[in-house]
Amino acid sequence: MLSRIAESLFWIGRYVERADDTARLLDVHLQILLEDPWAEEDLACRSLLSVMDRRLPAQGAAIGRVEVLDLLAYDRFSPSSIAGALVSARENARRAREVISTELWESLNATWNQLPSHMRPARPHDYFTWVRERAAVVAGVVDATASRDDTWAFMVLGRSIERADMTARLLTTRALAGSGGPGWTTLLRSCGAHEAFLRTYRGAASDERAAGFLLLDRLFPRSIVFALNQAEACLAALEPVADRAIVDDARRHIGLVRTNLEYRPLIDVLDALPREMEQVQRACAAASDAVRGRYFPSALTTTWVGENL
């Protein structure tokens, strides 16, 4: 497969997952601001923006849900906002059009076409629901129609790395905002994990168990360890004949941070949650770079010059 195509596939996986996760995160964030009369809106929004790698406005200027939505949900030009991620996913699909199935292309293209009509609804919840639904359609189409070859491996690799990264960011919001931040229930809900969690522990929900569920659960597909395991499996599928002594860079980054979470007492991890989560994010970024270096070397940098008509 062409490196360029592989790169597009990898990023389709990442962008769609990013839109999905950001929608989940914002949905719960807004719901909490509405339902909890004692939530500190400014602090909660600041910590969210900081975790999502956005520049914070000066201390004096209060920020609220409107600003957060503008930056993280409706910005079409930043690939780390929901709208931007969906636009970018479609762009990447165009580049890999001949490899991906028509169904997948059409679902991404339809998403892009419908985007303007879904932006800025009266109830942001409707937008998030729509985004989650579209992401589910894309994931379902991939699942149902992609052959389990490299096409699949690159897409799922992108998705898993993104998922681990976003879940880590989500957990950081909890640690940063302290008492003003979302509770564990909220975090579980935003990962779609609340009901699965309740069923697992039958309502005997303690903070520690909730954290453990999102960090370490081996069966729940949105937990960090699950996502990292899946990323490793994809990397292994991409390069089955491993060198006897040396591990591929990307696998090393991911495996290291996974074992670091898995084989340490949970309480240690929780004590330094922001730092641990930063490590997960850095490992994901490093793995992503390593994948790029290994599979998508771009020797020539093409620059395009706009025509001034």
Partner 1 sequence: MADLFDDYPAGVAWDEMLDPATGPRAAYKHVHAALAQLSAGELRARADALARTYLTQGVTFDFAGEERPFPLDVVPRVLAGDEWEHVAPGVAQRVRALEAFLADVYGPQRVVADGVLPRSVVVSSTNYCRAARGITPPNGVRVHVSGIDLIRDSLGGWRVLEDNVRVPSGVSYVLSNRRAMAQTFPELFAALRIRPVSDYPRRLLAALTAAAPAGVDDPTVVVLTPGVYNSAYFEHSLLARTMGVELVEGRDLFCAQGRVWMRTTQGRRRVDVIYRRVDDDFLDPVTFRADSLLGSPGLMTCARNGTVTIANAVGNGVADDKLVYTYVPDLIRYYLGEEPILANVDTWRLEEPGSLEEVLDRLDELVVKPVDGSGGKGLVVGPAATRAELDALRSRLVEDPRGWIAQPVVQLSTVPTLVEDGLRPRHTDLRPFAVNDGDDVWVLPGGLTRVALPEGRLVVNSSQGGGSKDTWVLGGAPPRREPATAAVHHPVPVGNAVPIDANPQDIRAHVMQQQQTLDGPVRASSSDQEVVTC
- Pick between residue 240 and residue 297 the one whose CB is nearest to partner 1: 297
Taking 3-state DSSP, the helix, strand and coil percentages for the chain, each rounded to the nearest 5, stand at 70, 0, 30
Q: Which of 268, 281, 284 is nearest to 211 (CA)?
A: 268
Structure tokens at 239: 């390069």
Between CA 124 and CA 9 the distance in angstroms is 29
- Pick between residue 143 and residue 195 the one whose CB is nearest to partner 1: 195
Residue 92 CA to chain centroid, in angstroms? 17
**SS3 call for 283:** helix
Site map 249..288 versus partner 1, x via CB under 8 A:
-------------------------x---x--xx--x--x
Helices (H), 119-206: 124-145, 150-177, 184-190, 194-201
Apex 137 CA angle, 119 and 225, nearest 5: 100
Range in contact with partner 1 (rule: CB under 8 A) among 10-18, 142-150, 225-233, 255-263: 10-18
Range in contact with partner 1 (rule: CB under 8 A) among 75-83, 135-143, 209-217, 257-265: 75-83
Range in contact with partner 1 (rule: CB under 8 A) among 88-96, 134-142, 220-228, 252-260: 88-96
CB of 20 closer than 8 Å to CB of 135: yes
- Pick between residue 144 and residue 206 the one whose CB is nearest to partner 1: 206
Interacting residues toward partner 1 by CB under 8 A: 4, 7-8, 11, 14, 18, 30-31, 33-38, 43, 46-47, 50-53, 56, 76-77, 79-80, 88, 91-92, 94-95, 122-123, 125, 165, 169, 175-179, 195, 197-205, 274, 278, 281-282, 285, 288, 292, 298, 303-304, 306-308
